[in-house]
Amino acid sequence: MRGGAYFTPPPPQVHHGWPPSGAPKELVDFYRDKARAMNRAAAEKKEQQPPQQQQHQGPLELHVYRDERLFGKDDIITGPDKQQMLYYLRFPVKFFSGRWDLSLRRGGPDGPEVAHIDKGTFGDSFDISFVNGPQIRCQRTGLISTKYLFQGQGGSAYYCWKSDGHFLSQMNYTLFREDDLELPKEQRRPLAHWRTSNFSFGKDGVLTINPEALNEVELILATALGIEERARERRNRNR
């Protein structure tokens, strides 16, 4: 105590000169414990982040494959190396039913669950329920061109998946902020793109997410998987 006021030491990360040499043992212990606690918190926060948010600064490319090891409709989602499994979509088969009850998991089929994707028997819209997070409605809109509208997890921005033209309405989609769709086409800023794989056996497609949308990776992935599944159902019905 100096002059009647308590001494408040600066945060341990300010500079490496703290604590100063010759400081009391109590001050040295204080900084040591603080630094350890901060390092643990930073490590835990990093582990909780999706892998691609930890590693990528440019566009993120995710490849979606059918899991050929199982009889069913499960998906494996890899990164750009097409090898490391980043996510896994469990898709229980329900015969004679149009309902979905999907489970998106991080790291593999037994990894921590990220969200449920649910759709009723009728209609194209579906719900995404994040574990310990919000429930988000992905609403089908549009008549001539297919559009899916949903709100970001922050609760402010609205996003829209828009089909790439009428003839590609069941194949390829581009994601925009909803208000960008009011601009001329050349001024719109694409946030992500889904491309269905036509001639690749066992592969559903490729999702590319631009850097400005990497804070919504798992929401964008969940919506893209749901839209592609609904488009596949329509394609199979029209064959």
Nearest to 136 by CA among 61, 223, 62: 223
Give the highest mean pLDDT range of 41-45, 48-52, 131-135, 207-211: 207-211
Given a contact cutoff of 8 angstroms between Cβ atoms, the answer to whether 173 and 196 are in contact is no
Using CA atoms, how far apart are residues 148 and 146, in angstroms rounded to an integer? 7
**Tell me, what amino acid is at 140?**
R
Given a contact cutoff of 8 angstroms between Cβ atoms, the answer to whether 117 and 105 are in contact is no
Given a contact cutoff of 8 angstroms between Cβ atoms, the answer to whether 137 and 129 are in contact is no
Question: pLDDT value at position 2?
Answer: 41
Nearest to 59 by CA among 159, 195, 191: 191
> How would you label 19-55 residue by residue, b for 16+ Cβ within 10 Å and e otherwise?
beeeeeeeeeeebeeeeeeeeeeeeeeeeeebbbeee
Quickly state the pLDDT bin for 238 (edges 50, 70, 90). Answer: low
In this predicted structure, the answer to whether residue 45 has a pLDDT above a threshold of 70 is no
Q: Which residues pair with 118 in a beta bridge?
A: 101, 127
Query: What is the DSSP track for 49-99?
Result: S-HHHHH-SS-EEEEEEE-TTSSS--EEEE-TTS-SEEEEEE----TT---
Question: pLDDT value at position 49?
Answer: 56
Question: pLDDT value at position 83?
Answer: 92
Question: pLDDT value at position 11?
Answer: 47
Using CA atoms, how far apart are residues 97 and 53, in angstroms rounded to an integer? 36
Using CA atoms, how far apart are residues 124 and 16, in angstroms rounded to an integer? 57
In this predicted structure, the answer to whether residue 34 has a pLDDT above a threshold of 80 is no
> Residue 201 carries which DSSP code?
T
In this predicted structure, the answer to whether residue 5 has a pLDDT above a threshold of 50 is no
Give the highest mean pLDDT range of 13-22, 67-76, 211-220: 211-220
Tokens 């109590």 appear where?
26
Give the highest mean pLDDT range of 30-44, 63-77, 171-185: 171-185
Global pTM reads 0.73
